[in-house]
Amino acid sequence: MPLSWWVSLLDRLLPRACALCGLALSPGAPVGICNPCLLELQGARRPRCPRCALGLTWPSRVCVRTPHESLPDPCACAPRFAGLIDRSLAAADYAPPIDRLITAIKFDRQPMLARALGELVAAAWRGCPDRPAVDFLIPMPLSLERLAERGFNQSLLMARACAPRMPEPVRLLPHSLRRTRHGRAQSELGRIERMSNLDGAFNCQRLPARARVALIDDVLTTGSTALAAALALRNAGAESVVLLVAARAGPSEITQQWPD
């Protein structure tokens, strides 16, 4: 039996509660968040730049920095994302109520809530009409020091919940991408510092030929971490890289401090 069948059976035997409000979910619910809470997620249905996942508030296919927009450099998609990340998807904005869920997972030591984020990402990807095909799902890694401090990698927990719910079968590669250098937490740094903090921070085992990879993480802020990881994936042979995140920080918020 496929893993998704066993997951569905377990949910029917052990009913779950909504990760946001605590109300009981219907048996076999595809996402660990109830429908009323899903409807409250800011940005869940807004159009987004297909490269960097920023919400679009003007008629444009991609987000392009112009003199009339207040987008802080570095959000202009080209050339930062071009050639490294082919497609990005965010399930919602980094705003209430999902920001509290992410904070609870990472800083209040509630790893069981990460499953709902992974299911949310899978549902958003299933609903994406122009999604490219992917073969492998890879979680954003933590350094060994950060993993020992936190006790778990929330992106790996998300990936385990996301993989069996992807629209096409994918193979989960939990340890192919590694973070080899432990620097300061990204949340403590500004944009320029974030970029230099990640120089050579990732490496990846050689991937199968023509590998189409989906990289999954909880939050996308400046994109520095995602781009550094995507570079390692490309160097390992990835033909394409898709970025899947639960939440995306908005243009006016990118310069603020965010959890890493």
Give 161-180 pLDDT, tens digit per residue: 999 999 999 999 999 999 99
Asked whether the predicted pLDDT for residue 31 surpasses 70, the reply is: yes
What per-residue confidence (pLDDT) applies to 33?
A: 96
Q: Is the peptide bond before 97 cis (omega within 30 degrees of 0)?
A: yes
Asked whether the predicted pLDDT for residue 142 surpasses 80, the reply is: yes
- CATH second-level architecture of 48-248? 3-Layer(aba) Sandwich (3.40)
Alpha carbons 49 and 245: distance in angstroms, whole number: 13
Cβ atoms < 10 Å from Cβ of 5: 10
CA 92 to chain centre: 10
Pick the closest to residue 244 from 124, 99, 151 (CA basis): 124
Cβ atoms < 10 Å from Cβ of 149: 11
Q: Identify each DSSP E strand in the chain by its residue range.
A: 87-93, 136-139, 171-172, 177-179, 202-204, 211-220, 238-248
**Inter-CA distances, 163 with 34, 95, 122, 143, 247, Å:** 20, 25, 8, 23, 18
| Residue 235 pLDDT class (50, 70, 90 cuts) | very high
What per-residue confidence (pLDDT) applies to 230?
A: 96
Alpha carbons 126 and 248: distance in angstroms, whole number: 18
Give the three-state DSSP class for 105: helix
End-to-end CA distance of the chain: 36
Asked whether the predicted pLDDT for residue 93 surpasses 80, the reply is: yes
What is the DSSP track for 111-173? GGGHHHHHHHHHHHHHT-TTPPP-SEEEEPP--HHHHHHHSS-HHHHHHHHHGGGSSS--EE-
Longest dimension (CA), the chain: 56
Alpha carbons 105 and 206: distance in angstroms, whole number: 31
When pLDDT is averaged across residues 87-111 and rounded to a whole number, the result is 94
What per-residue confidence (pLDDT) applies to 85?
A: 93
Contact between 213 and 240 (Cβ < 8 Å): yes
Mean pLDDT, all residues of the chain: 83
What per-residue confidence (pLDDT) applies to 69?
A: 43
Alpha carbons 28 and 13: distance in angstroms, whole number: 9
Q: Of 3-12, 104-113, 130-139, 211-220, which gets the smallest average pLDDT?
A: 3-12
What per-residue confidence (pLDDT) applies to 79?
A: 58
Asked whether the predicted pLDDT for residue 54 surpasses 60, the reply is: yes
What per-residue confidence (pLDDT) applies to 260?
A: 43
- Per-domain residue ranges of the chain: 48-248
pLDDT in tens, 192-234: 455 455 667 899 999 999 999 999 999 998 888 999 999 999 9
